[in-house]
Amino acid sequence: MERLFTSSGDVGIWGHLAHPRSAPGTWTPGLVIAHGFPPGRDGGRLSARSFPELADRIATELGWVVLVITLRGCGDSEGNFSMGGWRDDLAYAAAYLHDLDDTDAVWMAGFGTGGALAICAAADDERVQGVAALGSPADFDDWSSHPRRLLLHAREVGLIGSPSFPESFDQWSRELREIRAVAAAPRLRPRPLLIVHGSEDESVPVFDARVLADAHGDADLRIIDGAGHQLRHDPRAVAVLLGWLDRQRNQAASSAV
């Protein structure tokens, strides 16, 4: 991991950037990958540890430039967790990829909370060509119902290190209600949306996947039979993601010719 760019609030974001082995002049798409909300104590430090491997695989096998970021408060990235801050980090990551000389277009993919926020960030940036969301919630209403409990949990898992954060609890908790993937999905259309969900997801009900798909109106919905929430480690879910990315690249490259 290395320090890559500065997000809103002058927060330094760390991540991993994987480049394909392609000839100069080859049409090359870019992909931002976002992790989810980490479970368990010390989860913030370990939140994105397996994602560089996935990024390297997508770069090598499919020919993408892939950016994995650790959202603020996670890993070596600076700052403290907030829903708005994480959405900003994804928006800045997309802009960072857009500015690279060897990247021709940008997509986003996210797991859990990262997928929901990728939909929100992409809906506000028409340059993002499409989104894949795996195991992602349609909204954060459960968290917004008990914001102080979430704040305490975020401190316990290491996402909030500053005792004085947030400066305004009301603003911090309001973001939990106002930032909703189900409201952003219609604004993403007609750009493609892949939704992958485990039928036995213990953290986010599979109903959320269907709600997101309906809100978008033309989403590619894939339910993985028997899978739980940790789809990053389910080879079937990863295979669906890789197949979708390959089709996205081929279609976009053909259109660019």
What does the pLDDT read at residue 144? 96
Q: Which residues, given as ranges, of the chain have pLDDT below 70?
A: 23, 40-47, 257
Q: What is the pLDDT of residues 136-158, one digit of tens each?
A: 999 999 999 999 999 999 999 99
Whether residue 238 lies inside any domain: the answer is yes
Whole-number pLDDT of residue 60? 96
Strand-pairing partners, residue 89, are none
CA dihedral 12, 72, 235, 202 (to 10 degrees): 180
Q: Note the pLDDT tens digit of each residue in 93-120.
A: 999 999 998 899 999 999 999 999 999 9
* Cβ within 8 Å of residue 181, ≥6 positions away: 115, 116, 117, 119, 120, 133, 136, 137, 138, 139, 212
Determine, yes or no, domain membership for 257: no
Give the CATH number for residue 74.
3.40.50.1820
Count of domains in the chain? 1
Yes or no: say if 7 and 88 are a contact pair by the CB < 8 Å rule: yes
pTM more than 0.85: yes
Tell me the C-alpha distance between 12 and 57, whole Å. 26
What pLDDT is stored for residue 19 in this prediction?
Answer: 94
What pLDDT score does 64 carry?
97
| pLDDT of 23 | 67
- What is the pLDDT at residue 25? 74
pLDDT of res. 42 = 59
Enclosing domain of residue 206: 2-252
Does 160 map to a domain? yes
- Residue 88 covered by a domain: yes
Q: Which residue has the tokens 């309906």?
A: 214
What pLDDT sits at residue 36? 95
